[in-house]
Amino acid sequence: MKEVIVHPERCVGCMQCMPACAVAHSGSGRLVSAVLELPQPRPRVHVGVGLYDEGFPNRCRHCDPAPCRLACLPGAIYRDPKTNTVLIDPERCINCASCAMACPFGVIRYHEERSALRGKTVAVKCDNCIGRQIQGLIPACVEACKVGALTFEERDRALKRRTNEVSRRISFSGEEPRIPGAEGFSLLHTLKRTQKEMNELRS
Amino acid sequence: MNITDTRQEARTITRDGLLMLARAEREHLNTVWDRHEAQQPHCGFCEMGLSCRICSMGPCRIDPFGEGPQLGVCGANADIIVARNLGRAIASGAASHSDHGRDLLEVLLKVGEGKAPGYEIRDPDKLRAIAAEYGVPTQNHDVLQTARELAHAMQEDYGTRKSGLQFLSRAPEKRRNLWEELGVTPRGIDRETSEMMHRTHMGVDNDWKSLLLQAMRNALSDGWGGSLIATEVSDILFGTPKPVQSHVNLGVLKADHVNVVVHGHNPVVSQMVLEACQSPDLLALARETGAQGINLVGLCCTGNELLMRQGIPMAGNHLMTELVLMTGAVEMMAVDYQCIMPSLGATASCYHTRMISTSDKARFPMMEHREFHPENAAEQARSLIREAVENYARRIPGKVYIPVEPVPMTAGFSVEAILDALGGAPTPLIEAIKAGKIRGAAGVVGCNNPKIKHDYGHVTLTRRLIERDILVVDTGCAAVANAKAGFKTQDALQWAGPGLKEVCGALNIPPVLHFGSCVDNVRILVLASALADALGVDISDLPLAGAAPEWYSEKALSIGLYFVASGVYTVVGPTPPVTGSMNVVKLLTEGLNDVVGACFAVEPDPEKAALLMAARIEDRRRKLGLTARSV
Amino acid sequence: MRHVIIGNGTAGIHAAETIRSLDSEASITIIAGETFPPYCRPMISLFLEGVVSRNQLRIRPPDYYDSLRITPLSGEWVRNIDVKLRRVMTDRGREVPFDRLLIASGADPRPTRAQGSHLKNVSFLRSESHVRDMMDALPYVKRVLVLGGGLVGFKAAYGFLRRKIPVTMLIRSSYPLSMQVDPFAGELLRRELRNNGLDVRVGVEAVAFEGGDRVRQVHLSDGSSLNCDLVVIGKGVTPAVSFVPADRIQMDLGILVNQRMETTEPGIYAAGDVAEHFDVARNTRWVNALWPVAVEQGRIAGANMAGRTVNYAGSLSRNVIRVFGLDVLTGGLVNPPREDGYEEIASYDAYRRRYRRLVFRDDIPVGLVMVNDIEQGGVFLSLLQQQRPVGGVRNRLLHPSFNVSQLLH
């Protein structure tokens, strides 16, 4: 079964996954009209800033067991076994934020949502673009990402690729860039890290 | 218990900055640092120069990891996209400096026509010397006629008719020949910018090396063109700087005076404001209002212009411009153009400060527009200062906060002033370099950038350089940083290495020489040319290095490139948006050495930058047959 | 294998489900004193507030017991446990034998010492039946008196205030929720409630209630009196252990359990509000009578009862409430003792009314208070649960941009 896999070392912080996600959950499905909808659609993937000002696409991991599901007081959080998606029923949600306490990744947000009653604030998180998947499309964040920080594939396949990368690096002599084929990105990241550490540590 | 203290300390090394940041926090005023944080993470495509918005078939981006799109819609690859973006940045920077020069020429012309009341020719000798350079006859011509004809001649440099700029003749012959061979001799100031914009249009220049060569030519049209004209005409109109004593940091504001701040770049505005601030009737009005006088202070480059020529004190550099308003002691800030943050109006609205924009080219949110032209500038300045004096009564006494004492400094080191200090010729300096007492010279220039702890880059680098007996000359925001750190007094010799201490002590100059504003970077080129000619070598053979440890602006990119193109090795702190193409990176940081005898280095850590510059200087010494140290 | 579970609260329910998922053959019996089917106790204050209906309190479908093949004994209370003979006795005289026993009887509200507490409309707020009775009284209630500023009293007060009924709250500390929040957040809360109609009296106790057919007035320890039509006693809970043989099963405040949720008597387990385990933030034994703690303890007890050895590292107190314009999320040891080794960092943005405070023991975060901007609360609580040293990241924790990626290096 395919799932969304995150490769954080590739995130360039362009944040395109965020508007793509929001638009995918809008009424009109198009950016220009989505921004005018009420309630305004919001992303379920959140690009956070790392220690060295790099980007990180933070999304629900659809954990099993899901701490949010166990913590949910009214039992509004459930699992769709076919796609291994943890979903929140906006009807049952009482906006108590028990799931905020439970989620170790901080990916749940609380706002109005077009699938909930008008005026009701509910807990909202990634739904694996289950609606798009039914139509044979891939999740919107994956489609938007042009650097391969978000992929939609079998977990084993992604792990196998990573194993191969590690083996190649070990069998290679000499300095390898952190990510093959992206010397410039490595260079930029090193320089940004130097700047950040310098600002914080030196006086 | 509050964690925010360490956060502020990560932002600046200056005491006045720290105290004002604490005030900003208390008063819920947002600053450039807050906005910088809110922008994180920056988009990596743009940071690497890999995004292109030039045409409507896009916008496009290239995946640095090689899997996503590798070509824009038009077919441009990473090298082309990075080079095009860099080219446009250079065009913008060069255009800014050159437009500044153009406005000065307009005043020079109008002075010659008698249509610029309040302006005059303060250095007629320089006028005549430069007229001679341009082949403008000066005998039997009065000053005003010379001014008109020189203005016209210089305006020609901006256009399409020439095949080379006049001031190029000041560069060593070897250097000029090199530029000819490379095809980068700038032909016209506006022309090179125009051609850069043309070449970067979709489907024109699609060779990344060719684009970079045009960028070099465009930058040279700034360094040996627009900026040099700006500096020389400013000297003609307002006087060539001589060593002058002054003060720097927020403490230059005076609680018992009407405080007027000038910000921006062009002395055509700030000089007129100065005249008004010194006029007896307005001073009398100020005293009637209860103030002790009118205190004019400067920010950024226009502040540097007034400092160099009249010793007007400097309140701060780029990252201090919002903070100066938060002292609650500014009656009026008058701005013209460049480096003026559009946030200033909102910050000022929390205090009684009047914000005035003066240039038809530059309008800002929440500022009143009072346009200056050569015909009305003097009068416009007077009415503004009158209103500033009236605004003194609206000051809220409880809100005034000037928490520091100003730091003394010496400024005013034009090339003429240095030669004067050396006895009329560069010989003593050359002797000192040959003897190894002074290893060489370094130019520390450029802006501030919240990516680098405010002033940390400039001050640390300068300190390490003078420790190694390297004479430092500085301009722009870097010069303000170094002055605030106390490097511009004789006391600063305590931090200099033994050789530098001896020479500067004997000449009675500080170890760090304040060269002026950012257009005044050309003074460094002029001095370097003079030294090169005296030694019979090219600029790239001299034990020189340059640095922009905290640059932010496109102007800084242009300056950096014209320095490198002129043969000066230049280290920059923040990373320019070129890492998307390792080809471009390698050319800029290695390849250019073989092409123009100098290249760039990118090093955010000023400790390491100092080593790079010292290594270059010692290497050039060795090649000149002088004593060389290992670094 | 016969599993018997005392109590159909969330600890008991989750234990039963875990046993069934691991063992499809074993027999499971749940003995429950309350007749209402399994429901979410923390939600009763929302029921009081009028935000959810009684039916929405239920957390399991009507055929729950049947579908899991659980034998429920409803409305029946356990009176004694015969450890030697391995059977429990109920108040209906029934004897229920067991191979494995789980005591998940929960906790009972602490009574008040004031006189006249037997009067009608003087009540605890522990079960849904308490709320039903309160709602019957609503039509004539003009003022509510709440004893105690803890979670129960607080939620009671909030529920009535939302119904626009004035409330007087008597608390011992100078701010409500003194066990959950620090003085700073407590003051923010007190002000928010006061601005919305709550009358807080500090250091004042109820001495006696007066009234005929129902409570009408209360006499306070400062000599004053107050009219009130309904009294909610929220003075905390104490584990329900009256039926537990103290000579065989060791207890302190609650029933002591080891890492497998087992009591000092092998084969007898305890979980939920009745159990006393190790609190990772306080670094000592503690009863954390909280819903998510009961859930995790029930699951672990159930796994061990079904023969899978699973260890429980310890519990962490945590709470989140939304009160008018403030969201408050807390966890761990919020008010540390004045000892060496404890440090605190905090930041307050008055403009956005955003407060964040962390307590450290050496390099390990042990306490958390957040007011507004609570979305990252779980990230912090996970650090507290893991007892994970933070090192240099400490400077980032208070910042609005803090997120889990900053912990990943």
Model confidence pLDDT, tens digit, residues C166-186:
999 999 888 889 989 999 999
- The answer to whether B223 touches B170, Cβ cutoff 8 Å, is no
How much is the average pLDDT of C114-128? 94
Q: Indicate yes or no: CB of A105 within 8 angstroms of CB of C374.
A: no
Of the residues A52, A59, A73, the best mutation for testing chain C's interface (the one with the most C CB atoms within 10 Å of its CB) is A73
Report the gap between the CA of B449 and the closest CA in chain C (Å). Answer: 21
pLDDT band at B3 (very low <50, low <70, confident <90, very high): low
> Which of C327, C378, C401 is the closest to A103 by Cβ?
C378
Return the DSSP state at B454: B
Q: Which of B198, B173, B2, B185 is nearest to B84 (CA)?
A: B198
In chain A, the residue whose alpha carbon lies closest to the alpha carbon of C394 is A51
Q: Is residue B2 over pLDDT 70?
A: no
Burial B13-47 (b: 16+ CB within 10 A, else e): bbbbbbbbbebbbeeebebbbeeebeebbbbbbbb
ipTM over 0.85: yes
- Picking from A56, A58, A97, the nearest residue to C374 by CB comes out as A97
pLDDT in the model for residue A166? 83
Q: Which distant-in-sequence residues (6+ apart) come within 8 Å of B589 by Cβ?
A: B599, B600, B601, B602
Looking up tokens 């790239």 gives B540
Chain A neighbors of B12, CB-CB under 8 A: none
How far, CA to CA in Å, does B313 sit from each of A107, B491, C342?
A: 52, 19, 49
Give the model's confidence band at B156: pLDDT under 50 very low, under 70 low, under 90 confident, else very high.
very high
CA C194 to centroid of chain Cα atoms: 25
Q: Does the beta carbon of A57 lie under 8 angstroms from any beta carbon of chain B?
A: no
pLDDT for the residue numbered B1: 41
Spatial contact of A151 and A142, defined as CB atoms under 8 Å apart: yes
- Nearest CB to A94; choose among C52, C395, C403: C52
Name every chain C residue with its beta carbon within 8 A of the beta carbon of B2: 345-348
Q: Is the pLDDT of residue B602 over 50?
A: yes
- Of the pLDDT bands very low, low, confident and very high (cuts 50, 70, 90), residue C58 is very high
CA distance B353 to B391: 8
- Chain B residues with CB under 8 Å of a chain C CB are 1-4, 6-7, 28, 37, 40
Asked if A146 is an interface residue toward chain B (Cβ–Cβ < 8 A), one would say yes
pLDDT per residue as tens digits for the range B527-572: 999 999 999 999 999 999 999 999 999 999 999 999 999 999 999 9
Q: Which helix (H) or strand (E) segment is C139 a member of?
A: none
Contact criterion met (CB < 8 Å) for B4 and C401: no
Structure-token match 């405080």, residue found: B259
C399 touches chain B (CB under 8 A): yes
Helix axes B227-238, B521-535, angle to 10 degrees: 100
Q: In B546-596, which residue ranges form alpha helices assigned H by DSSP? A: 554-565, 582-586, 592-596
Q: Are C347 and B37 within 8 A, CB to CB?
A: no
Of the candidates B224, B226, B248, the residue with the CA atom closest to the CA atom of residue B308? B248
Query: CA dihedral in degrees (B86, B91, B97, B103; nearest 10)?
Result: -160
- Per-residue pLDDT band for B478 (boundaries 50, 70, 90) equals very high
Q: Which residue of A11, A56, A183 is in closest CB contact with B582? A: A183
**Could you give the CA distance from residue C284 to residue C264 in angstroms, rounded to a whole number?**
18
**Least-confidence region, from B2-16, C245-259, C303-317:** B2-16
Contacts of C348 in chain B (CB under 8 A): 2
C30 touches chain B (CB under 8 A): no
Alpha carbons B433 and B471: distance in angstroms, whole number: 10
Mean pLDDT, to the nearest integer, of C52-66? Answer: 92
Q: What is the pLDDT of residues B38-76, one digit of tens each?
A: 999 999 999 999 999 999 999 999 999 988 999 999 999
Side-chain-facing half-sphere of C223: CA atoms under 13 Å:
0
Residue A170: pLDDT over 80: no
Query: Which one, of C371, C288, C289, lies nearest residue C329 by Cα?
Result: C371
**Which residues is A56 bridged to in the sheet?**
A48
Whole-number pLDDT of residue B85: 98
Pair B294, B282: CB distance under 8 Å:
yes
Find chain C residues with C-beta within 8 A of B28's C-beta.
Answer: 350-351
Interchain pair C344, B2: CB under 8 A: no
List residues bridging with C146 in a β-sheet.
Answer: C169, C232
Contact B1 C346 (CB under 8 A): yes
Contact A195 B452 (CB under 8 A): yes
Taking the Cβ of residue A17 and every Cβ of chain B, the question of whether any pair is shorter than 8 Å is answered with: no
Q: What angle do CA B233, B239, B243 make, to 5 degrees?
A: 125
Residue of A nearest to B576 (CA): A188
Q: How confident is the model at residue B138 (pLDDT cuts 50, 70, 90)?
A: confident
Tokens of A195: 């700047």
* Mean per-residue pLDDT, B240-260: 98
Determine the Cα–Cα distance for residues B336 and B96; give it in Å rounded to an integer. 12
Chains that touch B (3 or more CB pairs under 8 A): A, C
pLDDT tens, position by position, B361-395: 999 999 999 999 999 999 999 999 999 999 999 99
Q: To 10 degrees, what angle do helices B78-112 and B227-238 make?
A: 20
Alpha-carbon gap: B60 to the closest alpha carbon of chain A (Å): 11
Which of B511-515, C24-28, C258-262, C323-327 bottoms out in mean pLDDT, i.e. has the lowest? C323-327
Location of structure tokens 């005003």: B144
Strand order across the beta sheet in which B512-516 lies? B512-516, B470-475, B440-444, B544-548, B570-572, B600-602
Terminal-residue alpha carbon distance, chain A? 52
C-alpha C40/C-alpha C57 separation (Å) is 5
Nearest-by-CA chain C residue for B4: C347
Distance from CA of C226 to the nearest CA of A (A): 33
Which range (B508-522, C11-25, C42-56) has the least confidence? Answer: C42-56
Residue A49 Cα, gap to closest chain B Cα (Å): 5
Contact C347 B28 (CB under 8 A): no
* Beta carbons of B1 and C401 less than 8 Å apart: no
C-alpha distances in Å from residue B208, one per residue of A187, B49, B182, B583: 20, 13, 15, 9
The pLDDT tens digits of the residues spanning A14-59 come to 999 999 999 999 999 999 999 999 999 999 999 999 999 999 999 9
Q: Do A106 and C296 touch (CB under 8 A)?
A: no
Distance CA C268, CA B412 (A): 89
CA atoms of B205 and A121, how far apart (whole Å) = 54
- Nearest-10 crossing angle of helices B427-435, B521-535: 70
CA–CA separation, B410 and B507 (whole Å)? 14
- As a whole number, mean pLDDT of residues C313-327 equals 92
> Which residues 361-380 of C are in CB contact (within 8 Å) with B?
none
Given pLDDT bands bounded at 50, 70 and 90, which one contains residue C197?
Answer: confident
To test the contact with chain A by mutation, choose from B47, B62, B454 the residue with the greatest count of A C-beta atoms within 10 A, namely: B47
**Chains in contact with C, counting 3 or more C-beta pairs less than 8 Å apart as contact:** A, B
Interface of B with A (CB under 8 A): 9-11, 13, 40-48, 61, 63-69, 451-453, 456, 460, 573-575, 579-582, 585, 602, 604-605
- In C, which residues are within 8 Å of B4 by CB distance? 347
Among C291, C395, C396, the residue with its CB nearest the CB of A73 is: C291
- Beta strand C284-286 with C275-279 is antiparallel
Q: Which of C318, C395, C405 sits opposite A8 (nearest CB)?
A: C405
SS3 track for C237-306: EEECCCCCCCCCCCECCCEECCCCCECCCCCEEECHHHEEEEECCCCEEECCCCHHHHHHHHHHHHHHHC
Residue A126 CA from chain centroid, whole number: 8
**Is residue C109 classed as helix, strand or coil in its secondary structure?**
strand
- Give residue B498's pLDDT: 97
Which of A13, A54, A198 is nearest residue B604 as measured by Cβ atoms?
A198
Q: Residue C345 and residue B3: Cβ atoms within 8 Å?
A: yes
pLDDT band for A109, please (50, 70, 90 cuts). very high
